[in-house]
A and B are shown apart, each in its own frame.
Chain A
Amino acid sequence: MRILRDVYIIGAGETRYGELWERSLRELAVEAGLRAIENAGVYSRDVEILYGSNSLAGIINGQENIGSLISDFAGIAHNNIPAVRVEASSASGGAALREAYLAIKSGEYDLIMVGGVEKMTDIYGNELLNMMGSILDREWESFFGATPAAMAAIVARKYMKDFNVEKEALSMMSINDHENASKNPMAQYKNKLTLKQAMGATNVAEPLTLMDCSPITDGASAILLASDRYMKKNKLEGAMVLGSGISQDYFAVHNRESIYTLNSAKIAAREALKKAGKKLDDISLVELHDSYSIYGLLELEDLGFAEKGKAKHLVYEDIKAGGRIPVNTSGGLKAKGYPLGAVGISQAVEAYEQVMGKAGQRQLKSVDSVLLHNMAGTGSTSVVHVIGGE
């Protein structure tokens, strides 16, 4: 028997993103969850299972078993509602969304909460960089002094040389993120960024400067996923999860045949678009995983919006909110923020709000479908979702 069940995002909520010194891991998670519950118009006791996504709580906050923690403080452990954590580094959120999507699709559940949380400022400065090293291959990259920024920088240098790309093109990704985040009340940075500021910022890993690198962010985002049956029975509305794709590449950058090709993104996007029955032309908005500006360009190419080496032609006009392929109306990872394990859900919140016409000042005129790309580390895992109207 073929099970045909459509899956909808029926509500979304999140905390403000930023350096939230006074807020704890559990407080952030619960706040986002409660806002999503309220937004969807359901009750938390009706949720059948919670999928939590998080990347580094084990080493940053000294806390594992996050599913139990959040379920308890959300008050639903009292109702014996199960909770698990999905971990795929900075793609944890996308992976959790996909697991929940499959669980509803399979017919097992009708209402699921998916929440992502990362509380990063419990560890300071260079010590946090040690922990970020666990996103890479600890023994064969980080051991020798690699950081996520350093690996992105190595990729950027070769890319810029092979395709004659100026540093300015990378900065344009960050400038676009900041421009869009200035209209997002939840964003970490609402200041606009000038080219001079972006180019002149301090070096992190050459050729990348501080303004090519996403910040350290505390934050949580949550959505409620429901089956079409549940949604209609309760007279709710939602944005449909039209397609989902996931793929993998070699873990360490040095093992990939081309260091500036994100194979995982290519394959996951192809899969998600095919399942959604959509073409790139149907995509009204792309939320990219631009943890480092260079990845924004690589993703535009590997998701299919430009040929390899040609994304530089899109970053000046096309990616703007009013452009041909709007990118990161949320403010993206650079300016909305980069709470590792929450990113995939943060993107889903933006998709939901844009599709439902709830994006306030950021609202795009007509939205068919939104493509979300959530990536682990340097591109080892990619999760792509296509969200749209019916």
Chain B
Amino acid sequence: MGELSRFWRESDHRYRLVAHKCGNCDRVYFPPRDVCPTCHRESVGKMEPIDLSGKGEVVSYTVVHEAPTPFTRQKPYILAIIKLDEGPSLTGQIVDSDPEEVDMGKRVHSVFRKVAEDGKSGIIQYGYKFVLD
């Protein structure tokens, strides 16, 4: 679903977890934002790129059994909200573990993986997933 430029323009964020830090209040946002929701216009032009460590903990998770077509081959898969050490939370899969091993509060770190593919001849999409520490 979608064309190359839609994925290509997010490469820095999805491959290397590049976030934005507000130059006014120092809050960190992922994905990057052009305006800080706390500082509003005071932040314009002051949102600076910052690399995240990819380390964090599981806020909560689910095991997905009913999956959209790009993910049907992966099911069942573990999808989680992860709170990163730098502050922001994000949504991503936890891989290389059985669901029984995953729990809320467990430490994880990010890995670079294939996320989905658009049919047999479409674009292969890459990005972050997480594994247990």
Q: Do A and B bind each other?
A: yes
Residues on A facing B (Cβ under 8 Å): 126-127, 129-130, 132-133, 139-147, 149-151, 153-155, 157-158, 161, 202-208, 252-255, 259
Nearest-CB residue, chain A, relative to B77:
A145
Give chain B residues whose Cβ lies under 8 Å from the Cβ of A143.
115-116, 125, 127
* Complex alpha-carbon distance, A130 and B72, angstroms: 11
Min CB distance, B75 to chain A, in Å? 9
Min CB distance, B14 to chain A, in Å? 8
Establish whether residues B59 and A145, one from each chain, have CB atoms under 8 Å apart when the complex forms.
Answer: no
* Complex alpha-carbon distance, A223 and B93, angstroms: 43
Nearest-CB residue, chain A, relative to B29:
A255
Nearest-CB residue, chain A, relative to B103:
A161
* Complex alpha-carbon distance, A126 and B127, angstroms: 22
In the complex, 26 of the A-B residue pairs with CB atoms within 8 angstroms, ordered by the A residue number, are: A126-B68, A126-B72, A127-B69, A129-B68, A129-B69, A130-B68, A139-B6, A143-B115, A143-B127, A144-B79, A144-B93, A145-B71, A145-B115, A150-B62, A153-B62, A154-B60, A154-B61, A205-B62, A205-B64, A206-B63, A206-B99, A207-B62, A253-B91, A254-B81, A255-B88, A259-B81
Nearest-CB residue, chain A, relative to B99:
A206
Min CB distance, A360 to chain B, in Å? 35
* Complex alpha-carbon distance, A205 and B63, angstroms: 5
Give chain B residues whose Cβ lies under 8 Å from the Cβ of A207.
62
Establish whether residues B81 and A144, one from each chain, have CB atoms under 8 Å apart when the complex forms.
Answer: no
Contact with A along B93-133 (1 / 0, CB 8 A): 10000010000100000000001100000000101010000
* Complex alpha-carbon distance, A147 and B92, angstroms: 12
Q: Does B41 contact A (CB under 8 A)?
A: no
Establish whether residues A142 and B64, one from each chain, have CB atoms under 8 Å apart when the complex forms.
Answer: no
Establish whether residues B91 and A252, one from each chain, have CB atoms under 8 Å apart when the complex forms.
Answer: yes
Nearest-CB residue, chain B, relative to A151:
B91
Give chain B residues whose Cβ lies under 8 Å from the Cβ of A161.
104
Instruction: Report which of A126, A149, A151 forms a contact with B69, defined as CB distance below 8 A.
Output: A126
Nearest-CB residue, chain B, relative to A127:
B69
| Contacts between the two chains (Cβ within 8 Å), count | 109
> With A144-B91, A144-B127 in contact, is A149–B63 under 8 Å at CB?
no
Establish whether residues A146 and B91, one from each chain, have CB atoms under 8 Å apart when the complex forms.
Answer: yes
Instruction: Report which of A147, A158, A254 forms a contact with B67, defined as CB distance below 8 A.
Output: A147
Give chain B residues whose Cβ lies under 8 Å from the Cβ of A142.
68
Min CB distance, B125 to chain A, in Å? 7
A sample of 4 more A-B contacts (CB under 8 A), given A140-B91, A145-B77, A253-B91, is A150-B64, A154-B91, A161-B104, A204-B66
Give chain B residues whose Cβ lies under 8 Å from the Cβ of A139.
6, 10, 31
Give chain A residues whose Cβ lies under 8 Å from the Cβ of B81.
154, 253-254, 259
Q: How large is the interface on B (under 10, 10 to 19, 20 to 34, 35 or more residues)?
A: 35 or more
Establish whether residues A140 and B31, one from each chain, have CB atoms under 8 Å apart when the complex forms.
Answer: yes
* Complex alpha-carbon distance, A252 and B106, angstroms: 22
Q: Does B17 contact A (CB under 8 A)?
A: no
Instruction: Report which of A140, A144, A147, A255 forms a contact with B66, defined as CB distance below 8 A.
Output: A147
Min CB distance, A126 to chain B, in Å? 5
Establish whether residues A205 and B115, one from each chain, have CB atoms under 8 Å apart when the complex forms.
Answer: no
Give chain B residues whose Cβ lies under 8 Å from the Cβ of A149.
64, 66
Give chain A residues whose Cβ lies under 8 Å from the Cβ of B79.
144-146, 150, 154, 205
* Complex alpha-carbon distance, A147 and B69, angstroms: 11
* Complex alpha-carbon distance, A206 and B79, angstroms: 10
* Complex alpha-carbon distance, A153 and B93, angstroms: 14
Give chain B residues whose Cβ lies under 8 Å from the Cβ of A206.
62-63, 65, 99
Min CB distance, A211 to chain B, in Å? 13
Nearest-CB residue, chain B, relative to A132:
B68
Nearest-CB residue, chain B, relative to A129:
B68
Nearest-CB residue, chain A, relative to B90:
A254
Instruction: Report which of A145, A155, A253, A254 forms a contact with B64, defined as CB distance below 8 A.
Output: A145
Give chain A residues whose Cβ lies under 8 Å from the Cβ of B129.
144
Establish whether residues B10 and A130, one from each chain, have CB atoms under 8 Å apart when the complex forms.
Answer: no
Min CB distance, A291 to chain B, in Å? 14
Establish whether residues B89 and A254, one from each chain, have CB atoms under 8 Å apart when the complex forms.
Answer: yes
Q: Does B74 contact A (CB under 8 A)?
A: yes
Which of A129, A149, A207 has its CB near the most chain B CB atoms (within 10 A)?
A129
* Complex alpha-carbon distance, A157 and B80, angstroms: 11
Instruction: Report which of B1, B60, B92, B99 forms a contact with A144, defined as CB distance below 8 A.
Output: B92
* Complex alpha-carbon distance, A209 and B89, angstroms: 26
Establish whether residues A202 and B65, one from each chain, have CB atoms under 8 Å apart when the complex forms.
Answer: yes
Min CB distance, B87 to chain A, in Å? 11
Give chain A residues whose Cβ lies under 8 Å from the Cβ of B6.
139
Min CB distance, B25 to chain A, in Å? 16
Give chain B residues whose Cβ lies under 8 Å from the Cβ of A132.
68
Min CB distance, B63 to chain A, in Å? 4
Contact with A along B3-25 (1 / 0, CB 8 A): 00010001000000000000000
Instruction: Report which of A151, A157, A254 forms a contact with B104, defined as CB distance below 8 A.
Output: A157
